[in-house]
Structure 1
Amino acid sequence: MNILVITISVLLSVICVLLALLQHYYFINKLYKRPSIRYEEPVFEDLIPSDRNNKYNYNYPLQQVEDQNSDRILSQLNSVLVSQPKEDTIRYLLKNDKATGTDSEVYNTLQAAIAFKLSGKSHKALKLFEHAAAIAPENADVLNRYGEFLEQQHHDIVAADELYFKALSHTPDHKAALINRQRTAPVVEGLDYNLFKLIDERNDFLKNRIKLDAFETVKKQAYYLHIYHTVGIEGNTMTVEQLRYLLETGQVVSGKSIIEHNEVLGLEKAMQYIKLLVKADYIGLEQILGIHRRVMGHVDPITSGVFRDEKVFVGNHVPPPHEDVPDLMESYVQWLNSEDAQSMHPVRYAALAHYKLVDIHPFTDGNGRTSRLIMNLILLKAGYPPVMVLKEQREKYYDALKTANMGDVRPFVRFVAQCTLQILDMYIYGTIRSIEGSIDEEDKNIIKFE
């Protein structure tokens, strides 16, 4: 009897130990395992040079120029980018946060706009709707009516959907806006899906084009164009040729401030660091701080790579208190490496990663550049080229961020998607122009820049 009891006790002890080991294994591997971004092999990281000793060689001497660009391909690429539509049908709404018109003025303007619409004078109606939205950006009736006009007269269901959302953000029980958005939201979701599909088609096409010799020439110029627009959004006034002169020769550019020089040098270092991170399995706080340290290291060595310790304001948006930043960044990193985030379309994932970091605003300065670099790190990991937000798109870029702060992040995701498509078009255009007559009819149907 005693032997049986001892045997059973030993068996129970062994089972308990095995169960404890299994629980430990599950806890360690499931809860603390760092998931990696599981996408295809990166193909575009070579768009970023590894170091200054591996810079591009030009077959003409570098000269410091002031206001003109003598490089034909660089000029062509930039002209393609800036020729993209810069007007936003609802830009007037996003400039103002508070009403500037009296109730009677708003009402009279709205009624006049509706009257012109009914009489078939769409151009005049559009001007009045824009004016009404500008002086009453929180008036749900104005926003809803303006959305209906854009949807019915201009067939711009995306802009209309954004207006319906904004109307509901100010007046959640607005019946007409609720009905309208129930109709438009699924349609817009389908359009966004088609946009991602188009991006993937262009990206696959570009992967075949990069095997051509002509792509090397385009790549050389696009790298400097990327730096030019990225620092330009923050107010840097260097031309493409001037910053190229700085990076190639290490010589100062006459008439430009020390800060402008340091912004260019810091961004270059950060882009080189991004290239090193492309094949890493995990994006953590160390990597994020490392990106910021390089972005701002030349400009402000003391605060570079360090979370802010003060309250900041971004327009009318107030980011979280600085005491909350460490915990918020821990949560951000967990989301960044989560399966939920990585299961999204890479462009959506990259855009949300950008917005979430800007929303936390963890640094005193350099948040935008750091966020855009993390966005491009994700895109590079997923096999897409890095995206640049043009200087000319600065207003639309900030407007989309402002809309996201109001609760609708889709316009910002859509903006990043359009920027991605724009960059793909730029690279494809550059390779096509560099090899005149070598493209077949099927390729011409992919992209047309005539």
Structure 2
Amino acid sequence: MNILLIVISILLSVICVLLALFQHYYFINKLYKRPSLKYDVPVFDDLIPSKENKFENNLNYPLQQIDDHDSDIVLNDLNSVLESRPQQKDTIGYILKNDKATGTDSEVYNTLQAAIAFKLSGKSLKALKLFEHAAAIAPENADVLNRYGEFLEQQHQDVLTADELYFKALTHSPNHEAALTNRKRTAPVVEGLDYKLFKDIDKRNDFLKNRVKLGGFETVKKQAYYLHIYHTVGIEGNTMTVEQLRYLLQTGQVVSGKSLVEHNEVLGIEKAMQYIKLLVRADYIGIKEILGIHRRVMGHVDPMASGVFRDEKVFVGSHIPPPYEDIPDLMENYVEWLNSEEAQNMHPVRYAALAHYKLVDIHPFVDGNGRTSRLIMNMILLKAGYPPVMVLKEQRETYYDSLKTANMGDVRPFVRFVAQCTLQILDMYIYGTRFLSLEGNSEEGKKIITFE
């Protein structure tokens, strides 16, 4: 009997020790361990082009290479693809530019009734103009927004914009029955369209990954790099042309007629992109790394404010970012989310877009928030094996409008905008590599590879 008690006591002691060890392991390794950002082998991690081709050519047939002296042609080709690509319709952009109603109640009512009458009589163009006017003078009127959404959905089959208008109507009137009914119908459709958009991105990205394995990608990558910097600084108002910017980066010589600030903006982005290239393979992205990105972005422009959180109140249009006293805690929460499994389990494009928006919403710096956010967005895409995204200068208004819509509570248009930009850049790369064709003896080998 005594022996049995001793054995039981020993077993209980062993179990207690095992439970204590398990508890220690759980708290130390699960709760306090820094999770790492997952990444695929980054195919496009050479934001700063290497001097030699990244991919070795082990194929037993020749490739049609693009010579360095043809770089001007390549640059113009890539730029022409971006310019010729249809820009996203800015159907409700003017709505977002107005913060308060500018029309009287009777004017709004009469305009809306006239728009409905023209719609019923089949005069769609006149109806559209009246709906636009009603939304412009009454951007917070739920009836106007809902009716306008119904018109776009029924007459133009524009479910995406209609859904955005229904959502906006509900932000101002949460119990609006017609808007609730309409959004219940459109929300699943929009979700399906967004899913299809991500599938299209993945299909193009897989195609491009196979394409660049052929080699001869260096010149395309280098000229795309110049375009990337050109549009990144251009959104912020930099007036350098892409040719001037390339001259500055290649020679280090001053560009005549351009300000010192514009020169420093370009040099800052280049340094930040070099740093991003290093961070692509980092295990953890924390506040130190985010401050490091900003320090490089703004180091040449404003050394005293670079790499430090703001200590003053700022305004971004009608949006008022959080008080500067809250920034340290908000950034800790941001970093926790950035490295969380919840974020990493999203589609990489959605994850990257939300990382961009969340940082811009906090607005932790006096200046350089947009550039820093876009770099973090591209770091995430690079980690996941996608090329870096360009937001074109010509897309500036749509870009800011989608951010403003996100501030109102609907982040989907901004995610969709980033997804469209991703498709845009994939198409540019695919077009730029169209001459990487096989020159074997077969008829199939003589064809230029095209994406379908």
Please confirm whether the aligned pair reaches a TM-score higher than 0.5, indicating the same fold: yes
289-298 vs 116-125, which moves further: 116-125
Q: How does 1:181-192 map to 2 (within 5 A)?
A: 181-192=183-194
Distance in structure 1 (CA, Å) of the matches to 2:50 and 2:363: 29
Are 2:21 and 1:21 equivalent residues in the alignment?
A: yes
Give the aligned partner of residue 61 of structure 2.
none
Equivalent position SS for 1:36? coil
Report the CA distance shift for 1:204/1:10 in structure 2 as closer, same or farther (over 3 A). closer
- Asked if 2 retains the 8 angstrom alpha-carbon contact of 1:90 and 1:159, the reply is yes
Distance in structure 2 (CA, Å) of the matches to 1:245 and 1:57: 19
Q: CA offsets, 1:394-418, max 9 Å, x none?
A: 0000000000000000000000000
Give the aligned partner of residue 175 of structure 1.
177
Give the aligned partner of residue 32 of structure 1.
32
Overall identity of the aligned pairs, in %? 81
Cα deviation, residue 45, structure 1: 0.6
- Asked if 1 retains the 8 angstrom alpha-carbon contact of 2:68 and 2:219, the reply is no
Equivalent position SS for 1:45? coil
Please point out which of 147, 158, 161 is paired with 1:159.
161
| TM-score under structure 1 length normalisation | 0.91
Give the aligned partner of residue 69 of structure 2.
59
Cα deviation, residue 436, structure 1: 11
Equivalent position SS for 2:243? helix
155-164 vs 1-10, which moves further: 1-10
Cα deviation, residue 76, structure 1: 2.3
- Alpha carbon RMSD of aligned pairs, Å? 2.6
Q: How many residues were matched structurally?
A: 434
Distance in structure 2 (CA, Å) of the matches to 1:439 and 1:105: 67
Give the aligned partner of residue 238 of structure 1.
240
Give the aligned partner of residue 78 of structure 1.
79
- Asked if 2 retains the 8 angstrom alpha-carbon contact of 1:263 and 1:298, the reply is yes
Give the aligned partner of residue 146 of structure 2.
144
Equivalent position SS for 1:348? helix
Cα deviation, residue 184, structure 1: 0.1
Q: How does 1:2-401 map to 2 (within 5 A)?
A: 15-49=15-49, 58-59=68-69, 71-83=72-84, 84-401=86-403
Cα deviation, residue 434, structure 1: 7.1
Q: CA offsets, 1:12-35, max 9 Å, x none?
A: 666544432221111111111222
Report the CA distance shift for 1:395/1:440 in structure 2 as closer, same or farther (over 3 A). farther
Q: Which amino acid aligns with 2:373?
A: S
- Asked if 2 retains the 8 angstrom alpha-carbon contact of 1:94 and 1:403, the reply is yes
Distance in structure 2 (CA, Å) of the matches to 1:353 and 1:175: 34
Report the CA distance shift for 1:445/1:365 in structure 2 as closer, same or farther (over 3 A). closer
257-266 vs 42-51, which moves further: 42-51
Report the CA distance shift for 1:348/1:441 in structure 2 as closer, same or farther (over 3 A). farther
91-100 vs 429-438, which moves further: 429-438
Distance in structure 2 (CA, Å) of the matches to 1:92 and 1:439: 51
Equivalent position SS for 2:391? coil
Report the CA distance shift for 1:203/1:3 in structure 2 as closer, same or farther (over 3 A). closer
Q: CA offsets, 1:305-352, max 9 Å, x none?
A: 111111111111111111111111111111111111100000000000
Q: Which amino acid aligns with 1:189?
A: E
Q: Which amino acid aligns with 1:45?
A: D
Cα deviation, residue 128, structure 1: 1.3
Distance in structure 1 (CA, Å) of the matches to 2:72 and 2:140: 47
Distance in structure 1 (CA, Å) of the matches to 2:373 and 2:190: 26
Equivalent position SS for 1:59? helix
Q: Which amino acid aligns with 1:256?
A: K
Cα deviation, residue 39, structure 1: 3.7
Cα deviation, residue 108, structure 1: 1.5
| TM-score under structure 2 length normalisation | 0.90
Distance in structure 2 (CA, Å) of the matches to 1:85 and 1:316: 26
276-285 vs 190-199, which moves further: 276-285
417-426 vs 10-19, which moves further: 10-19
Q: CA offsets, 1:194-245, max 9 Å, x none?
A: 0000000000111111123453222121100000000000000000011111
Equivalent position SS for 1:271? helix
Unaligned runs of 5+ in 2: 55-65
Report the CA distance shift for 1:347/1:32 in structure 2 as closer, same or farther (over 3 A). same
- Asked if 1 retains the 8 angstrom alpha-carbon contact of 2:309 and 2:365, the reply is yes
Distance in structure 1 (CA, Å) of the matches to 2:40 and 2:72: 35
Distance in structure 2 (CA, Å) of the matches to 1:16 and 1:212: 59
Q: Which amino acid aligns with 1:34?
A: R
Q: Which amino acid aligns with 1:251?
A: Q
Give the aligned partner of residue 62 of structure 2.
none
Higher relative contact order (CA 8 A, sep 6+): 2
Q: CA offsets, 1:154-197, max 9 Å, x none?
A: 00100000000000001111110000000000100000000000
Give the aligned partner of residue 404 of structure 1.
406
Unaligned runs of 5+ in 1: 61-69
Q: CA offsets, 1:23-79, max 9 Å, x none?
A: 11111111112222334211111243369xx9x99538xxxxxxxxx9232222212
